[in-house]
Amino acid sequence: MNIQTVQSLVDRLNECCDAYYNQSNPLISDSEYDALFNQLKEMEEETGIVLKNSPTQTVGHVVKSKLTKVKHDIPLLSLDKTKDINDLVKFIQANPCLMMFKYDGLTVELIYNKGKLVQASTRGDGYIGEDITHNAKTFKNIPFTIPYQGFLRVVGEAIIYKADFQFINDNLPAGEKPYANTRNLVSGSVRQLDNKICANRNVHFMLWDVLEGLDDIAENPDSRKSKFLACIDLGFEKPTAYVADVSGLSALPDGINSLKRKAIEKGIPIDGLVVKYDSISYSRQKGGTSHHNNDGIAFKFEDEREKTILREIEWSLGRTGQLTPVAIFDPVELEGTVISRASVHNLSYLIDFDLNIGDEIEVYKANMIIPQIYKNLSGENRAKKIGVQHPTNCPCCGQPIKVEHVNNTDTVYCVNPNCDGKKLGAFEHFVSKPAMNIDGLSEATLGRFIECGWLDTFTDIYRLNQYKANIVKMDGFGVASYNKLWNAIENSRKVTFDKFLVALGIPNIGKTAAKAISQYCNGNVEQFEYLLNQDFDWTLLDDFGQVMSDSIKQWFKDTANTRMYVDLLNVLQIQKPKERNIQNSDFINKTVVVTGTLQHYTRESITAKLEELGAKVSGSVSKKTDYLIAGEKAGSKLSKAQQYEVTILTENDFLKMIS
C-alpha cells in the first residue's frame, strides 16, 4: 500500500538522520540519502499523504501569547461510566459494538479541509475548548496533509507513552518535582504557549472517533469501523486499541483482558475501556444528555484516585446533634470535577485513618459521585497513631459534647437541646423539598432569621409576616423577594401527611417510612394518632424494623415534640393523598425500587406515579422486590436485583407498560 511505502521511507530516512547527526555514524552516503528523500517527496505529492515526522516537514518554533477559545460545532460530550460488567453486557445486547481503550490522556479534536490540517483543539467543557494547533503540529504521529479533499473532523486522545513519561521524570533538573501521572503531563504539554516544550514530550494522537466526513470514501458510511479503516489509509496511526465487533457476550471478559494486556505490552496509559455502537445512525437515535451521549459507555477498571494534602478537619453539626468530621484538602480533579472536601463519617473512621494535618492522603469518588478518603499515605509510615483529636466542646454552642459507642462505632454528639447549630439543621430539614418544600429559606437566610430571634420553633415560620418591615431592609432582600418568600410559606400550609411526617425530623423516619405510615393510615391524622395511643407496633408495616418503630414512640413521648406537633397542625392543612389510578395497572401491590438517573422523571415524580398506580416504592432491593426500574448509573442496586432475580425494567420498559 502507498501509506506503508511512505511510512517505510520516513522511518528509514529518520533512522539515517539520527545516525548521522546524533551518533556520527552515517548509515548511507549523501547521494543515497538524497535519492530516498526525493523518492519520499514524490510519493507524498502522488498520494497526498504527509506524515508529521516526515523529514520533508520542519515544524517551526512557535510561541503564542495565549490560547484562543474554540467553539465546538459538534459538542465533545463525555460518556456514561460504569464499573459493573453487567452494564456492558446490557449495553452490547442492544446493537453491535466496538470495544476500544479508554485512554488516560487529553481529548483533542482535529479538523482537516481540502487535505490540510486547519485546526486542533482541546475538549474543554465539551462546548468550548482551546486552540492548540501550534502544539498539535509537534505530535509524533498525525499527518499534516491527507489525500482527502473533503471536510474531516476526527477526535482522539493526546497521550504520552509510559516509557516516555518515565524518561521525562528520570531526566528532570535537580530539585524539580516529578510529574504525578501521564494525564497531567500531557494535559500541561498540549496547553503550552511555546510549542518547543510540547515537541520535546513525545505526544501521540490516538484516534477514537470520526465525527464528520469520509462518507464518500468509506466502504460503509454508517460504520465506525469502516471509517477507522479509511482514516488508516489517509495516514492516521492504526488504532491499536480497536478490536472486532463484540457479538459473543460470553467472550466479553476475554476481550477485556486481551485489551488490558495489549496496553501493558505497548506501554499505553489507559484507565478503562470504551464500548460504542458501530452503527452511526443507530448512535444518533440514542440521543443523550447535556453531559454525555448515549451511544457509548466507559468501563472503568477501578476508582480514579488522586494524592493531595490534608489541611484541616472541620466538624459539621447535623440536626440530631451529631458532629461529623469533614476532611479539607488541597483541590484535586476527580471524575471531571474539582473536589476539596470529603466526609470522614464518624470518630471511628477518623481514628482508623490516623489523620493528621499535613498528611498526604489519597482520595476518590465512591460510585464516581461521593468524595471519600481512600488511604492515608503518611499514616502508613508512622510507628504510633496520634491522629486529630475530636472537639471536647460543640463548635456551635460551646457546650460539652459526648461520645456514643454503638455497634462498634464511636460517634460525637452535642447534647445541648438549645444549640443554635442543631436548630439551624432542624430548620433546614423542615423547609427542604422532601418535607415542607419552602423555596427561599436557604441555610444563610435561616441563620440570619435565627440570629434575629425570629425563629425558635417551626411554627414561627408561619408568623414571619410580622417582621416584614425588617426583612425587606435586609441585604439581599426587598419587597419582591419578601413577597416571593411569603407566598412560598403560605403555599406550604397545604401539605400531605407523609411530607408532614418527614418535616418533623423523627430519627430514622425518612421519605419511604413516612409514605408507608401515611398509606397505612390513608393519609388520616386522626387514624395515626389513634394508633399512637394504642401503642401500635409499627414493625407490622413492610420494611419497618424495631429501631424505626421505637424512634416513633420515643419521639412522641417527648412533651416538647408533641407540643410542636400540635402547634404545627394548627397552622397547616393536611391534604388527602391523591386518588390512586390502579385500574389495569401491572404495579398493584408490587414493591418497586428506582435507581439511577431517568430522562423523563425526577425521583419524586416517578415515585408519585408508581404510588398512583398502586405500587409500594422502596429504597432498597430485597427478595421481596418485584421490579427494579434502572436508569443511567444504576450502580449496586442493579447488581443486587440481578442477584435476587428481580425483574429489571428500563425507563422505556416502564413507559410502555403504563402507556
| Model pLDDT for residues 592-649, shown as the tens digit of each residue | 999 888 878 888 788 888 888 888 888 788 888 899 998 877 777 887 888 888 888 8
Q: Which residue has the higher pLDDT, 644 or 302?
A: 644
pLDDT of residue 214: 94
Buried b (16+ CB within 10 A) or exposed e, 434-472: ebbebeebeeebbbbbbeeebbeebbbbbebeebeeebe
Mean pLDDT calculated for residue range 183-211? 89
User: What does the alpha-carbon distance between residue 69 and residue 72 come to, in Å, rounded to a whole number?
Assistant: 10
Backbone phi, then psi, for 212, in 5-degree steps?
Answer: -155, 140
Phi and psi, residue 131, nearest 5°: -75, 120
Catalytic hit among 102, 276, 422, 499: 102
Comparing 29-33, 262-266, 336-340, 654-658, which segment has the lowest mean pLDDT?
A: 29-33
Q: What's the rounded mean pLDDT across residues 484-493? A: 95
Confidence of residue 260 (pLDDT cuts 50, 70, 90): confident
154 vs 207: CA distance, rounded Å: 7
Beta bridge partners of 404: 411
Q: What is the predicted pLDDT for the residue at 220? A: 93
Under 8 Å between Cβ of 47 and 16: no
Which position has the grid cell 504539554? 189
pLDDT confidence of residue 244: 47
User: Angle at Cα 318 formed by Cα 313 and Cα 320, nearest 5°?
Assistant: 135
Predicted TM-score (pTM) of the model is 0.51
The answer to whether residue 102 is catalytic is yes
What is the three-class DSSP state of 423?
A: helix
Task: Please give the DSSP secondary-structure letter assigned to residue 223.
Answer: B
